[in-house]
Structure 1
Amino acid sequence: MPRHLVHRHAVAEVFLTDYRIESDSTYHVAVQLPVSHRIFDASCEQHDPLGVAEAFRQAVVLLCHTRYDIPLHYKFLMETFSFEMLDAFDVQPAAEPLTFCITVDNLTHRDGAVSGVEVTGVLREGTRHVARCNAVARGASPEGYRRIRQGREDYCPRQRILPSGTAVIGSERVGRSNNRDVLISTDAARQTVFCTPDPRNHSLFDHPVDHIPGMILFEAARQAVRYRTGDPATQIATLSAGFPRFTEWETPCHVSTTSLDASGNVHRVRFTQDQQTTAELELTIADAS
């Protein structure tokens, strides 16, 4: 799959290989998930659910460009995103083919052209259903994006931006082997957690972005839950997210985690800048067994 069709610069970061048109609104998209990746970790012999989410994100972008004529130079904005792991998803030496069976609904139009879509996909390993995903996305023209971003559209940080008095959390506490892969920091005195990714980490950012994107927030949320629960092996079974605002690089971004049930398996993770929510996620922890 050409990398520009999924908004990736590095060939190794493209998780799709092909697609087939079934009808005007249904498609089969072939997927090849990495078995070795710094961020989407398969070291526990299971595919990383966030790798599934990234493959689905790429499928949404691919179909918007190739089937719904959203121009390649448009920006993509995810309004909502969710996924649910349906079955065990082990890394296999001779795996069955992976395919997203995708339906595109609820097209929105602007100036006579498609501007937004709702996409639902079921990831199949052979005939077995292993994950379900949904996203609502829209494209923004360069002119429209400049209006939305109000002068921030060319912002490009050169290093990790840490709020005063904070330090990056130790990688072992969030299930990482390299501190550059840690996306959160904390003020030890107040135990406040901040989202502070390193823009020089090319496994996370294979091209510059003017804000912190949703996939990075997913990993930051996972790390925040791992840190708060004290379990660096915590994995996600379900996730749903909304993005009411952009998450900016240069403004301190507070990450709060709240347990929503007695078992401690369901959590709300909220990202806040200047007392305004930029993203809110609800996630369920996978059964350790």
Structure 2
Amino acid sequence: MTINDTMEPERVRERLTFDQTVPRAIAHRRAVGEVFITDSSPAGPDTFLLAWQIPRAHALWGDRLTAHHDPFATAEAARQGCFVIVHRHLGIPLDLPFSLQRFEFRVTAGLEPYRDDRRWPLQGLLRYRIGHKEFRGGDLGSMRIDGEVEIDGTTAMTVSGDVVFLSRGDYEALRAFQRSRKPLADVPSWRPADPVAAARVGRRDERNVVVGAPGTTSFPAGLLRYPMVMDRGHPSYFDHDYDHVPGPFIVEGFRQAGLLAACGAGLLPSPVAALTGLRATFADFGEFEAPLEYVAEATPGADGRADVRVGLHQFGTEIAEGRIELTPCP
């Protein structure tokens, strides 16, 4: 089914444009060049339609060793689309903290819709439905989002996530409580890891590499640990200030650790592979003051793909986990 098969009036689709981005603040971006949503409109009860476009020369999403666009870039557009709906259409104030506690996506039509014709930017439509809304004291406390990403009339990806809202006071109290339970004052001095060669994780630019070579010891259950490599001046991963390690950066590490694990296990012929499936949940925030390490366990998937169970650890605790699917690019 395509977005056009649904009940949205055709006029809603026709009035969406790709002429300019939405205001950067409602997409939670500082740089206009990092905003991928160009327009949005209600399309029915708790249903919204958005237009999106990925710049061809983007320093991160254009950094690849394949003739296909990166499906993860469209997932990032979908993530921004959630923010746009929350602020523009649900009236949630810009200064109200909220987070995606679960985020999932799956490529549904293979990689052909992502083929780069070297002429046009990747663009399309995003349809979101909101459900499972829960209220606290009359205010929206949480909700679920489900959607489809359309490229050239084909539903190319499905996305889903759980959003939780907090008051500013509740968020600050939560962060203070979390940090009080961590030995931040006792972290021994540590040297940040050097990144692996960019080509080993399907990149050209070393600045876009977020994992280092695996350590000589292993945990848990005999799995290699891949240190997180963090450049807080990176224009995309750290477009604005955070008080914790951002989720999209963590997921990029999932992808790169997964590529290293899958190639190391002989499950992929090369790291030129697309992230075609993700299920990620976040149990805690990552802190900047201490090392973070990925683990990845790869198993054979269908049709030459690799399925990888991934996790992120800090202070000996898994703070984020998930499963990813890696598909060799043609």
Q: Same fold (TM over 0.5)?
A: yes
Measured after TM superposition, the shift of residue 256 of structure 1 is 0.5
- Seen in structure 2, the aligned counterparts of structure 1 residues 60 and 243 have a Cα distance that, compared at 3 Å, is same
Measured after TM superposition, the shift of residue 22 of structure 1 is 1.1
What is the aligned partner in structure 2 of residue 242 from structure 1? 281
What is the aligned partner in structure 1 of residue 104 from structure 2? 82
What is the aligned partner in structure 1 of residue 30 from structure 2? 9
Aligned pairs for 1:187-198 within 5 A = 189-190=216-217, 192-198=225-231
What is the aligned partner in structure 2 of residue 257 from structure 1? 296
What is the aligned partner in structure 2 of residue 216 from structure 1? 249
- Seen in structure 2, the aligned counterparts of structure 1 residues 47 and 220 have a Cα distance that, compared at 3 Å, is same
What is the aligned partner in structure 1 of residue 83 from structure 2? 61
- Seen in structure 2, the aligned counterparts of structure 1 residues 163 and 184 have a Cα distance that, compared at 3 Å, is farther
Q: Distance in 1 between matches of 2:207 and 2:33?
A: 19
Unaligned 5+ residue runs, structure 1?
154-161
Aligned pairs for 1:108-127 within 5 A = 108-127=134-153
Q: Distance in 1 between matches of 2:201 and 2:76?
A: 20
What is the aligned partner in structure 1 of residue 202 from structure 2? 175
What is the aligned partner in structure 2 of residue 45 from structure 1? 67
SS for the counterpart of 1:211 is coil
Q: How many residues align?
A: 282
- Seen in structure 2, the aligned counterparts of structure 1 residues 95 and 232 have a Cα distance that, compared at 3 Å, is closer
Among 48, 51, 55, the residue aligned to 1:30: 51
Measured after TM superposition, the shift of residue 136 of structure 1 is 0.7
Q: Distance in 1 between matches of 2:168 and 2:192?
A: 37
Measured after TM superposition, the shift of residue 183 of structure 1 is 0.8
CA deviation profile, 1:224-261 (whole Å, cap 9, x unmatched): 12222343322211111100111222222121001244
Measured after TM superposition, the shift of residue 128 of structure 1 is 1.1
Q: Is the contact made by 1:260 and 1:267 (CA closer than 8 Å) also made in structure 2?
A: yes
Q: Distance in 1 between matches of 2:206 and 2:177?
A: 32
SS for the counterpart of 2:57 is coil
Q: Is the contact made by 1:35 and 1:91 (CA closer than 8 Å) also made in structure 2?
A: no
Letter of the aligned partner of 1:254 in structure 2? Answer: E
Q: Is the contact made by 1:167 and 1:187 (CA closer than 8 Å) also made in structure 2?
A: no
Measured after TM superposition, the shift of residue 172 of structure 1 is 2.6
- Seen in structure 2, the aligned counterparts of structure 1 residues 257 and 147 have a Cα distance that, compared at 3 Å, is same
Which runs of structure 1 show a deviation greater than 4 angstroms over 4 or more consecutive aligned residues? Answer: 94-97
Q: Distance in 2 between matches of 1:13 and 1:96?
A: 14
What is the aligned partner in structure 2 of residue 203 from structure 1? 236
Letter of the aligned partner of 2:289 in structure 1? Answer: E
TM-score normalised to structure 2 length: 0.79
Among 313, 320, 330, the residue aligned to 1:272: 313
What is the aligned partner in structure 1 of residue 92 from structure 2? 70
CA deviation profile, 1:45-64 (whole Å, cap 9, x unmatched): 32211111111111111111
Measured after TM superposition, the shift of residue 167 of structure 1 is 2.8
Does residue 1:281 correspond to 2:313, yes or no? Answer: no
Unaligned 5+ residue runs, structure 2?
1-21, 180-188, 218-223, 264-269
Measured after TM superposition, the shift of residue 269 of structure 1 is 0.6
Q: Is the contact made by 2:107 and 2:157 (CA closer than 8 Å) also made in structure 1?
A: yes
Q: Is the contact made by 1:70 and 1:115 (CA closer than 8 Å) also made in structure 2?
A: no
Q: Distance in 2 between matches of 1:188 and 1:174?
A: 17
Q: Distance in 2 between matches of 1:212 and 1:95?
A: 29
Letter of the aligned partner of 2:131 in structure 1? Answer: D
- Seen in structure 2, the aligned counterparts of structure 1 residues 188 and 258 have a Cα distance that, compared at 3 Å, is closer
SS for the counterpart of 1:173 is helix
Q: Distance in 1 between matches of 2:88 and 2:283?
A: 27
Q: Is the contact made by 2:194 and 2:229 (CA closer than 8 Å) also made in structure 1?
A: no
Q: Which moved more, 1:4-13 or 1:89-98?
A: 89-98
Among 126, 131, 134, the residue aligned to 1:100: 126
SS for the counterpart of 1:31 is strand
CA deviation profile, 1:121-168 (whole Å, cap 9, x unmatched): 101124211111001112222211101110889xxxxxxxx9448432
Q: Distance in 1 between matches of 2:67 and 2:298?
A: 28
- Seen in structure 2, the aligned counterparts of structure 1 residues 126 and 235 have a Cα distance that, compared at 3 Å, is closer
Measured after TM superposition, the shift of residue 215 of structure 1 is 0.6
Q: Which has the larger radius of gyration?
A: 2
Q: Which moved more, 1:238-247 or 1:40-49?
A: 40-49
